[in-house]
Amino acid sequence: MIRALALVALAAFILLPLTQAVMLSFIATLPHDGVPEGSVSLVNYANVLAAPELRAAIGNSVIYVLLNVALCIAIALPAAYALARYRFLGDRHFLLMILVFRVTPPVVLSLPIFILFAKLGLVNSPVGIALVHCLFNLPVAIWILESFIRAVPSEFDETAFLDGHSGASFFFRHLIPAIAPGIGVAAFFCFIFSWVEVVFARILTVTEGKPITTAINAMFGFQTDMGMVMAMTCLSLLPGVAMIWFVRNHIARGFALRA
Amino acid sequence: MRPYNNRAWLLLLPALMLLVAVGALPLMAVINYGFHDIFSLSNVHWIGLDWFSDILQSQRFLASLGRSLLFSALALAIQVPLGIAVALLLLSCGRWAVWGLMLCALPLVVPWNMIPMLWLGLINQDTGILGHWLAAVEFDYKFTALHTWMLLLVMDTWHWLGLVVVLAYAGLSTIPTAYRQAAHIDGASRLAVFRHIELPRIAGGLAIVFLLRFVDSFMIYTEAFAINAGGPGDATRFLSIELGEEINGFSYGQAAARATLYFVMVLIVVCAFVMITRRPEAEA
């Protein structure tokens, strides 16, 4: 009985702010053509999808997040393998370094990163954001993948090499399928941390390539259409919710920290 | 035992290069700027430690530091026990637990600048679901410092509880049922089961939760700024809000010195954390 009450309270606490957003997104908060104010309709979603700058913002966010996930997994896999299977000079220092970069607040680095990326021509480009988000996503990806690779006994590698597999073919044909759930979990965390990040994404997009987060801030004005803002917010939640669904059975593997 | 092989560095090379480019180089630039007075990028003067001594001697800095420490302490004191409790609750739900985990993970995928917006909408006195009741108890986050703090803490808990739950659940779900049965037969109390069976299993996950939550709440910016921009008065002027003001005011030299100080603080916390967590590993 107490357990049921606690679960209900938890669900209410988590869902309450979202409920309000979902409800508002289906209500016309400003009068539109043929839709009186206060009526229930899909006009907000139609307006969001009809606005070219909002469509572009969704596209921009999707591009840099996917780029970031691909980059993080591709770079973290060999690094995680090295850390899981070998000891070497400075391995602990490397782990300490990624930990430090993971916890360095973005505001600390925002100014020089802007200057550096402006010189390299990476401002306003999704590549710039994807690169800079690796700063906090690469460590997380390395920790998660390392803990999954460690769970695979090293005899697994040795058997594959004895069977005559080269390094690359072992990596793609044996290791990656064996730790597929780990790659899923790592991709999940990279995806959400990149999708929700605001500080870097905002300063690195001055004139174009604006992400979804900046686009929503820009919707506030003299007469804000709250319903439309909430419709945009709800749309921005969909990819994250889909990601949660895909990794639901593996999400609780978590990550083990080594430093 | 893992073999010793320095060629493993070749596999680390791409990661290292990327982190140096987007992390180490900008960091060195920040530290360097901190020793200069910067009018524009072409008009820069060396002024040594002036910025640092200015900041460290200012009362406002110390007050912000105190506020940030208090906020982190409160956030950890609320979120860690609550997260463990929720994880234990979910663990007793069998196969429904995965739905609970998905529910708890939901706030993690909300873009950060929309979280304050969702909460401000919720407590809006005219349109919010809770607005009516909050108006009845004279809740006023704009002008009452205590209420602003409560709102920030509730919002932060909403946002990050999922991370604590997921990592605590990850540790708890590895406990074989035989352990619990044995404890039950021995007549161990609930507290003893937690202390001797559950806590050791979640210690690793909790360590990283503690570190991530401490640093993130210590440097809270996006959410805190959107709620009340440091107000009422200076009641929620946290460290990062001060830094944001300086960057927006084009006071780059001072902002860089401040950023360097913050980085040093984070570094000290990380080093302390590593020393504390490494000791039991060495014994094992």
Tell me the pLDDT band of A256, cut-offs 50, 70 and 90.
low
- Greatest mean pLDDT range, A32-36, B69-73, B171-175: B69-73
Q: Assign residue B136 the CATH number of its domain.
A: 1.10.3720.10
Residues of chain A in contact with residue B215, where contact means CB-CB under 8 angstroms, are 103, 105
Nearest to A7 among B4, B89, B108 (CB): B89
pLDDT of res. B284: 38
- Interface residue of B208, B225, B238, B275 to substitute, partner A, most A CBs within 10 Å: B208
Partners of residue A253 in chain B, C-beta under 8 Å: 170
Residue B69's CB is within 10 A of a number of other CB atoms, namely 16
pLDDT at A31 over 80: no
Cβ-nearest to B263 among A71, A91, A108 = A108
The residue of chain B nearest to residue A116, with distances taken between CA atoms, is B26
The answer on pLDDT for B282 being more than 60 is no
Q: How far is A64 from chain B (nearest CA, A)?
A: 15
Best CA proximity match to B121, nearest among A47, A233, A40: A233
- B5 contacts in A (CB within 8 Å)? 86-88
At B74, list the tokens.
């409160």
Q: How confident is the model at residue A172 (pLDDT cuts 50, 70, 90)?
A: confident
* Residue type (1 letter), A16: L
Residues of B in contact with A242 (CB under 8 A): none
Chains A & B: contacts with CB separation below 8 Å: 261
Residue A181 exposed, middle or buried by CB count within 10 Å (0-12, 13-18, 19+)? middle
Can you tell me the mean pLDDT for B41-51?
78
User: What percent of chain A has pLDDT above 90?
Assistant: 13
Q: Percentage of chain B surpassing pLDDT 90? A: 12
Is B118 inside a domain boundary? yes
On chain B, the residues whose CB falls within 8 A of the CB of A13 are: 158
What ipTM was predicted for this assembly?
0.85
Domain ranges for chain A, please list them.
Answer: 52-253
Q: What is the mean pLDDT of chain B?
A: 83
Preferred mutation among B32, B101, B108, B127 to probe A, highest tally of A CBs within 10 A: B108
Average pLDDT over residues B47-55: 82
Contact between B111 and A198 under an 8 Å Cβ cutoff? The reply is yes
- The answer to whether the beta carbons of residues A134 and A122 sit under 8 Å apart is no
What pLDDT score was predicted for residue A80? 92
A258: confidence class by pLDDT, cuts 50, 70, 90: low
Query: Right CATH number for A52-253 from 3.50.4.10, 1.20.1260.10, 1.10.3720.10, 3.30.379.10?
Result: 1.10.3720.10
Give the one of A17, A21, A105 whose C-beta lies nearest to B158's C-beta.
A17
Contact A196 B110 (CB under 8 A): yes
Contact A16 B6 (CB under 8 A): no
Angle of CA points A152, A157, A162, to nearest 5°: 150
Residues of B in contact with A175 (CB under 8 A): none
- Measured between alpha carbons, how far is A81 from A68 in angstroms, rounded to an integer? 20
Nearest alpha-carbon partner for B206 in B87, B120, B44, B107? B87
β-sheet bridge partners, residue A245: none
Model confidence over B90-148: pLDDT tens digits? 888 877 888 888 899 899 888 888 888 888 888 887 777 787 787 777 777 777 778 88
Judge contact between A249 and B98, C-beta under 8 A. yes
Q: Is A107's CB within 8 Å of B259's CB?
A: yes
Contacts B91 to A, Cβ<8 Å: none
Q: Decide if pLDDT at A126 tops 70.
A: yes
- The confidence score (pLDDT) of residue B82 equals 93
> If you average pLDDT over residues B54-64, what whole number do you get?
84
pLDDT for A245 equals: 87
Range of the domain at B188: 59-283
The percentage of residues in chain B with a pLDDT greater than 70, rounded to a whole number, is: 97
Residue B117 structure tokens: 């917006």
Best B4, B11, B262 member to test A by mutation, with max A CBs in 10 Å, is B11
Q: What is the mean pLDDT of residues A198-206?
A: 84
Distance CA B160, CA B212 (A): 10
Q: How far B45 CA sits from the closest chain A CA (Å)?
A: 17
Task: List CB contacts (< 8 A) between A138 and chain B.
Answer: 15, 18-19
Per CB-CB distance under 8 Å, the chain A contacts of B18 are: 71, 75, 131, 134, 138
pLDDT tens figures, B68-106: 999 999 999 999 999 999 998 988 887 788 888 889 989
* HSE toward the beta carbon, residue A209, CA cutoff 13 A: 19
Give the model's pLDDT for residue A63.
92
Q: What CA–CA distance (Å, rounded) separates B21 from B209?
A: 27
Mutate to test the interface with B, among A86, A114, A188 (most CBs of B within 10 A): A86
Q: Which of A103, A113, A255 sits opposite B266 (nearest CB)?
A: A103
**Nearest Cβ partner for B170 among A17, A213, A253:** A253
- What CA–CA distances, in Å, run from B113 to A174, B125, B153? 41, 21, 16
Domain count, chain B: 1
In a domain, B41, yes or no: no
Q: Beta strands of chain A (E only): which ranges?
A: none
| Overall residue count recorded for chain B in this entry | 284
The predicted model gives A60-75 an average pLDDT of 93
Q: Which residues of B touch A102 (CB under 8 A)?
A: 212
Better-scored residue on pLDDT, B102 or B47: B102
Helix axes A52-85, A91-103, angle to 10 degrees: 160
In this prediction, residue A259 carries a pLDDT of 44
Give the residue among B133, B158, B19 at the shortest CA–CA distance from B82: B158
Give the pair of three-digit tokens for residue B225.
């700024």
Whether residue A71 is predicted with pLDDT greater than 90 in this model: the reply is: yes
Name which of A205, A202, A201, A211 is nearest A236 in CA terms. A211
Look at residue B186 and tell me if it is in a domain: yes
Q: Given a cut of 80, is residue A33 above it in pLDDT?
A: no
- Asked whether the beta carbons of residue B103 and residue A111 sit closer than 8 angstroms, the reply is no
Q: Which residue in this structure is represented by tokens 């590993």?
A: B281
pLDDT in tens, A135-149: 989 998 998 898 888
According to the 3-state scheme, what is the secondary structure of A141-171? HHHHHHHHHHHCCHHHHHHHHHCCCCHHHHH
In this complex, the residue of B5, B119, B256 whose CB is nearest that of residue A86 is B5
Confidence (pLDDT) at A213: 81
Question: Nearest-CA residue of chain A relative to B17?
Answer: A75
CA distance A144 to A81: 11
A15 by Cβ neighbours in 10 Å (0-12 / 13-18 / 19+) ranks as middle
Q: What is the mean pLDDT of residues A172-178?
A: 83
Q: What is the distance in angstroms between the Cα of A20 and the nearest Cα belonging to chain B?
A: 6
User: B102, A111: Cβ pair inside 8 Å?
Assistant: no
**In Å, how far from its chain's centre is CA B29?**
25
